[in-house]
Structure 1
Amino acid sequence: MSVRGMTVAIHVGDREEALAFYCALIGRDPDMGPDPDFYEWEISPGAWLQLSTGREQIAPSSFRLRLKVDDIEAAHETLVQRGFELGPIKQLPGLVTFANLTDPWGNPLGVYQDMGLAPGA
């Protein structure tokens, strides 16, 4: 078996509110919307974020989805300017810098910057 991609599905409520939130977070419209309550972004080749809208009873996910950015400080500033409430930027020295947020339905999210540590080092 050779795994060549992945999808992560997030359940949310109101379609319009969800699209506004996630389009602003990701910085673009979905790559596809094969169903009126289902949208997808290809975050990187073979890695898809799926948004399932119109849910009435939502249990927030038990995992945090973090999106990789090139510059955590610039991303943090951009998201704050777009109206997002992010936590402070935190760092694991030599590994990663990140900031957390949640969507309106309580799903844990975040952005991160890889600090360039080689795998296995």
Structure 2
Amino acid sequence: MIHEMTVQVRVTNINEGQKWYQTFFNRQPDFKPHEGFAEWEIIPNCWLQLAEGEPAEGSGPIRLGVVDIVAERNRLENELHIEHFEIFSRKEVPVKWATFGDPWGNRLGIFEYVDEDEKDERIKRIIKTKD
């Protein structure tokens, strides 16, 4: 049974990479076990590991769900100076999505559920609020 997930991206400069990803996630890393490495728990049991090294070409994108894709795109363009990127949608696909890159060439993306009820239900499942 799979119960947890980690995804690793590499950056050539860990200090600059950590600063960039701190802005991307709006917070400090959750775990820094040693030099050249930082981790964020994005959602329960799902971690992004940032490691110093050569980025892997042609991988990704790693897409993360957001509540408001337009607002998040605006934030990323303003705070991280990411070049304007397009938001896509198709009638038969239940999400809007976009892809962009970090300064090291790692492909990232965001998506938003089109149906508000589905979006709310998925968020509730992840957060699992206690009564």
The bucket for the TM-score relative to the shorter chain is 0.7 to 0.9
Distance 2:14 2:101 in 1: 17
Distance 1:58 1:12 in 2: 6
State whether residues 60 and 105 of structure 1, in contact with CA within 8 Å, keep that contact through their aligned partners in structure 2. Answer: no
Runs of 4+ in 1 over 3 A off after TM superposition: none
Higher strand share: 1
Q: TM-score, normalised by structure 2?
A: 0.79
State whether residues 96 and 115 of structure 1, in contact with CA within 8 Å, keep that contact through their aligned partners in structure 2. Answer: yes
Moved more, 40-49 or 12-21: 12-21
Shift of 1:61: 4.9
Q: Aligned to 2:17, what secondary structure does the other structure show?
A: helix
State whether residues 13 and 58 of structure 1, in contact with CA within 8 Å, keep that contact through their aligned partners in structure 2. Answer: yes
What residue is the counterpart of 1:112 in the other structure? 111
Q: Confirm whether residue 64 of structure 1 aligns to residue 61 of structure 2.
A: yes
What residue is the counterpart of 1:37 in the other structure? 36
What residue is the counterpart of 1:51 in the other structure? 50
2:74 pairs with one of 57, 69, 77: 77
Distance 1:71 1:91 in 2: 14
Distance 2:56 2:44 in 1: 29
Higher helix share: 2
How many residues are paired up? Answer: 115
Root-mean-square deviation over aligned CA pairs: 1.7
Shift of 1:89: 1.1
Q: Aligned to 1:63, what secondary structure does the other structure show?
A: coil
1:11-63 CA distances to partner (integer Å, 9 max, x unpaired)? Answer: 1110111011111111111101111111100000000000002x2x4333522
What residue is the counterpart of 1:91 in the other structure? 89
Distance 1:101 1:29 in 2: 22
Q: Which runs of 5+ in 1 are unaligned?
A: none
Shift of 1:92: 2.7
Q: Aligned to 1:66, what secondary structure does the other structure show?
A: strand
What residue is the counterpart of 2:13 in the other structure? 14
State whether residues 100 and 109 of structure 1, in contact with CA within 8 Å, keep that contact through their aligned partners in structure 2. Answer: yes
| Identical amino acids, percent of aligned pairs | 35
Moved more, 44-53 or 89-98: 89-98
State whether residues 96 and 114 of structure 1, in contact with CA within 8 Å, keep that contact through their aligned partners in structure 2. Answer: yes
